[in-house]
Chain A
Amino acid sequence: MKITQTLRSLRGNKVGAAVEELHRAENGLVEALLSLADQQKADHEVFHVARDLAGWSQEHVRRLAEVGRSRGLDLDAEPAEPGGLLATAKQKGSELMGRFHEPGLLLLADLRHLHREAAGVSLDWEVLLQTAKALKDSELQKLAEDCHPETVRQMKWAEAKLKESAAQIMVTG
């Protein structure tokens, strides 16, 4: 009897830990996307799409906080937001550097970073989904099923953008 309770509570803790970890990682992804947008403002498509995709992660953060609440977790429902002095400075810097080709290398580095972050989040969602299925936790399962495909699209976008830009950045000087 006691052992079962212990297992359950342990399991509960682990689910809580997974939700908490995802909440942290999704916030990290929001920051990575917004920072990419600011840094690459001169590349208009990167700027706008990165901000749209940050919106997905912001929504994921809100939903994770909500799910966390019913599991006794106190997670901040307010994700990172665009703006602030640093963002403005980055955007200005990007526009000033718009006439130079070399910052392209920074774009590749930023996309690589973003891809890694998104890949991590994607795996975290896999873990949560598997856990939810095993626990027959339908609320958690729906959350993972709704959010995970968007994480995969974020990752695919980073890869596609990198593929599209790499040759022009690397070959022409």
Chain B
Amino acid sequence: MTSIDRIAEPWGSRTPYAVGEPWPVRVDCRLEDGLAESDVDAWVQSASLLHSNGDAMDIAVKDGRIVGVRGRAGDRVNHGRLGPKDLFGWQANASADRLTRPLVRRDGRLVETDWDTAMAAVAGRTTELLEERGPSSVAFYTTGQLFLEEYYTLGLIAHGGIGTIHVDGNTRLCTATAAEALKQSFGCDGQPGSYTDVDHADVIALFGHNVAETQTVLWSRMLDRLDGVDPPRLVCVDPRRTPVAERATVHLAPRPGTNLVLLNALIHELVENGWVDTAYVEKHAVGLADLEKVVAKYPPERAAEVCDVPVEDVREAARVIGTAERLMSTVLQGFYQSHQATAASVQVNNIHILRGMLGRPGCGVLQMNGQPTAENTREAGADGDLPGFRNWHNESHIAELAKVWNIEPTDIPHWTSPTHAMQIMRYVEDGSIRFLYVTGTNPAVSLPELERIRSILSQDRLFLVVQDLFLTETAELADVVLPAATWGEKTGTFTNVDRTVHLSEKAVEPPGEARPDLDILVDYAHRLGLRDKDGAPLVKWSTPEEAFEAWKECSRGRPCDYSGMTYEKLRGPSGIQWPCTEDAPDGTERIYVDGAFRAAPDDCESYGKDMVTGAPEDADAYKALNPEGRAILRSADYLPPHELPSAEYPYQLITGRTLYHFHTRTKTGRAPQLAAAAPEVWVEASERDAAREGWSEGDVLRVATPRGEVTARVRVSGVRDGVLFLPFHYGYWDRDTGDTGASAGGNGGENGGQPARDRAANELTITEWDPASKQPIFKTAAASATLVSRTDGTPAPAPTTTASRPVGGSVQATRGGESAAVDERIGTSEEES
């Protein structure tokens, strides 16, 4: 056993392995200082909730408190490993400022109240509005961090009970494009790949996916392959010099907003050089002629010019991908939150279809998720999709669902596509939505153009309910705040990007009167008096396991089939991949084997959309295009981004994450080791831009767009020229942080009684989204940057271990020290304690 500083070394020790071999076990364990594993009263099974990788862990409990975590050796996802956010993030559960009682607004102030008063207000206002203005005045905005059972219940209440089409999750900001890209190419959501593809691939291509920071354990797996025998070659598309880029055979850093041109050029090269599995395409795909026609217009020279990348690198990347024997690809926010998001992401699917690289070991596409339970938001119908990947525009799917719910098909609103999050905000803005119930998300920091969002959510005519752990920036605007239990304080299941389902059990009691989201939703349904067509309660369950059993029935026969799972089975050594049925009781490693897609017209989840206009195709057009349910090669032409640099705003601004934080830091900002690793906002600029502007490491800059400004110290990093990067994690709940960063600019204090709004990256972002996936475009805005003050020697508060690594100078390395010591046991198999 070794002890290692996991802030300084986020990916831990290497355990190299060769192609085709199993990934060695390494069990990571972090306990409160002074405690040993033998001191722990109980180990309670769970999985990661602070990122999307789905790492299985046990929660250590002593005297009724959470005192640490340990990775589960036998789990297929992580083989015992945990990431820094798992190892330290659990401490946030016990924060002194957790919400412990419901709050209601009285005379303009939020005051404590009891549950009955709060719930009566929530249900009362819903009922009033349903009578006065109808279901279209009621909306729900949820998250990617509740449990499957909760999403399924929420979807049932909203769609089947209240009858509103205004239901979405903040998954709209993170995985909407993943879902849409899969629907476009395969007719249905559902990830073809498996994490074990890392074990077999000879080429791994990462498109806008800084896996080293977003899914640290998956990167550890890749690093272990890179250090082993027969390492894979990496192709990296990212405007920043990420840890992935540093290990890549080819790194392409395109101009923001030009991903589609680059991908069209790569496919142009595949076609041109005959790197296409013609037999596979002829048998299993449609649309080749149209795709060829489009990509013919994108020779590598065009990509070189539009994307500003070397033409020989485009050719080399295409050659590596085109000659791969087992190609694995992953896609994330660099594509999903950029201009022409769906069209660009779909081209990655196209590469795999063209090369016939699906459904075999090492040959997978992972359209990644950004959040731990985002997959469930999609499956269970809390993002507006119908439960079980059913098709809104297919009457027989509606009838099937109505049967499961025992209601009339007409009770399920399906006259148009579900309203996406940004459009929900628009309807709140125009006053046609008057009730918004927000669960587990913080739109007042995470949505684009915050000044607009704050003004929308502050309207008197809106009744805003916020259910969360803390008094977030959004909760401060609410009419009712409901204190929720979280991970470790409630039971439920969730599913990661490679379809692995984990059970997360209750380890300790929630603080004060905080309640599990499921309990609150069931109470809400009962107070609304929601009934099925026989007059029985619409929501027929009250415990997570009952909800899971109901969901199993709803999922039966659909691609995300859970019918063969039970809580008991999930208590086994490893998580289980759906589909899990009577015929496949241990789950299914890879879907779409031998071209067996779920794209037949009567089976598919979507008939597809025009990727430029977003207009949905109808059933007849789809039947004509794809009568046999094959994969679909869809293509699109490049359009320039809508906000381009100008004399006034000469830079392109992109936003993103850092390894040590999650979203708006409601949890990670309350874990001392994580908070200290990245304490304050910073802005990244390239070496050349910094030299031209005369900026040095640590100088305070004001970054501005037509929508707002952010004050931050500059880190001279490996970001491409002409681009500024801002992490999006920093809101205002812990604004007064002293002289660590933005406040050093003298602009961070009180301003006329109002705290300055110059810290959140989303003050700057544009209100715009991809027309097909409706995912907001956070990574393509024009910005200016001006010097506010010179540094006194203080560097930017940015980690040195990640993509924000300084290119030169002598910045002190990011360390966690004693308090970040984590035990690692390499090669340990399952151990009982």
Contact = CB atoms under 8 A, between A and B. Distances in A.
Real complex partners, A and B? yes
Nearest to A165: B416
Interface in A41-69: 42-45, 48-49, 51-53, 55
A49 B613 contact: yes
Nearest to B136: A172
30 contacts: A42-B426, A42-B430, A45-B423, A45-B614, A49-B612, A49-B613, A49-B614, A49-B771, A51-B642, A52-B639, A98-B429, A98-B430, A99-B430, A99-B431, A103-B430, A104-B430, A104-B432, A153-B612, A153-B615, A157-B615, A159-B615, A160-B613, A161-B615, A167-B136, A171-B136, A172-B133, A172-B134, A172-B432, A172-B433, A173-B133
Contacts of B426: 42-44
B628 interface: no
Given A45-B768, A156-B610, A172-B433, 10 more contacts: A42-B429, A44-B768, A45-B769, A48-B642, A100-B431, A101-B430, A101-B431, A160-B614, A164-B416, A173-B133
A104 to B, nearest CB: 7
Interface in B462-509: none
B427 interface: yes
Contacts, number: 80
B430 A45 contact: no
B137 interface: yes
A153 B427 CA distance: 26
A133 interface: no
Contacts of B422: 44-45
Contacts of A43: 426
Interface in B797-815: none
Given A164-B416, A164-B417, A157 B614 contact: yes
A65 to B, nearest CB: 21
Interface residues on A, range: 20 to 34
Interface in A137-173: 153-154, 156-157, 159-161, 163-164, 166-169, 171-173
Contact of B432 (A53, A101, A160): A101
Contact of B612 (A52, A159, A173): A52
A111 to B, nearest CB: 12
- Ranked 10 nearest A-B pairs via Cβ: A160-B615, A157-B613, A172-B432, A172-B136, A157-B615, A101-B430, A156-B615, A44-B767, A101-B432, A164-B416
Contacts of B134: 171-172
Interface string B136-157: 1100000000000000000000
Interface string B405-445: 00000000001110100110011011111000000000000
B613 A156 contact: yes
Interface string A59-99: 00000000000000000000000000000000000000011
B22 interface: no
Instruction: Name B's interface SS.
Output: loop
B613 A53 contact: yes
Contact of B610 (A42, A44, A45, A153): A153
A87 to B, nearest CB: 15
A109 B206 CA distance: 45
Contacts of A169: 432
Most buried by A among B136, B422, B615, B642: B615
Given A99-B430, A101-B432, A45 B136 contact: no
A100 B642 CA distance: 26
B616 interface: yes
B190 to A, nearest CB: 25
A156 B621 CA distance: 12
Instruction: Name A's interface SS.
Output: helix
Contacts of B431: 99-101
Interface string B624-661: 00000000000000010010000000000000000000
Interface residues on B, range: 20 to 34
A11 B417 CA distance: 47
Most buried by B among A43, A163, A168, A171: A168
Interface of A: 42-45, 48-49, 51-53, 55, 98-101, 103-104, 153-154, 156-157, 159-161, 163-164, 166-169, 171-173
A58 to B, nearest CB: 12
A153 B608 CA distance: 14
B138 to A, nearest CB: 10
Nearest to B429: A98
Most buried by B among A44, A154, A169, A171: A44
Interface of B: 133-134, 136-137, 415-417, 419, 422-423, 426-427, 429-433, 610, 612-616, 639, 642, 767-769, 771
B247 to A, nearest CB: 37
A161 B417 CA distance: 11
A157 B611 CA distance: 11
A169 B416 CA distance: 13
Nearest to B413: A167
Contacts of B616: 160
A100 B613 contact: no
A167 B416 contact: yes
Contacts of A104: 430, 432
A52 B427 CA distance: 24
Contacts of B771: 45, 48-49
A48 B432 CA distance: 23
B584 to A, nearest CB: 38
Nearest to A173: B133
A157 B430 contact: no
Contact of B768 (A48, A166, A167): A48
B432 A157 contact: no
A101 B767 CA distance: 19
A168 B431 CA distance: 11
Contacts of A171: 134, 136
A161 B426 CA distance: 15
A167 B430 contact: no
Nearest to A166: B416
A119 to B, nearest CB: 15
A42 B431 CA distance: 13
B642 A157 contact: no
Contacts of B768: 44-45, 48
A60 B97 CA distance: 61
Contacts of A48: 642, 768, 771
B136 A168 contact: yes
Contacts of B430: 42, 98-101, 103-104
A166 B612 CA distance: 21
Contacts of B419: 168
A43 B419 CA distance: 14
A164 B148 CA distance: 28
Given A44-B768, A44-B769, A101-B432, A168 B610 contact: no
A167 B432 contact: no
A154 B769 CA distance: 19
A167 B433 CA distance: 13
A57 to B, nearest CB: 13
Nearest to B639: A52
A55 B769 CA distance: 18
A167 B415 contact: yes
A143 to B, nearest CB: 16
Contacts of B610: 153, 156-157
A154 B610 CA distance: 10
B431 to A, nearest CB: 5
Nearest to A55: B639
A49 B639 CA distance: 11
Contacts of A173: 133, 432
Contacts of B433: 172
B432 A168 contact: yes
A2 to B, nearest CB: 45
Contacts of A103: 430
A11 to B, nearest CB: 31
A30 to B, nearest CB: 16
Nearest to B448: A44
Contacts of A172: 133-134, 136-137, 432-433
Nearest to B452: A98
A43 B767 CA distance: 10
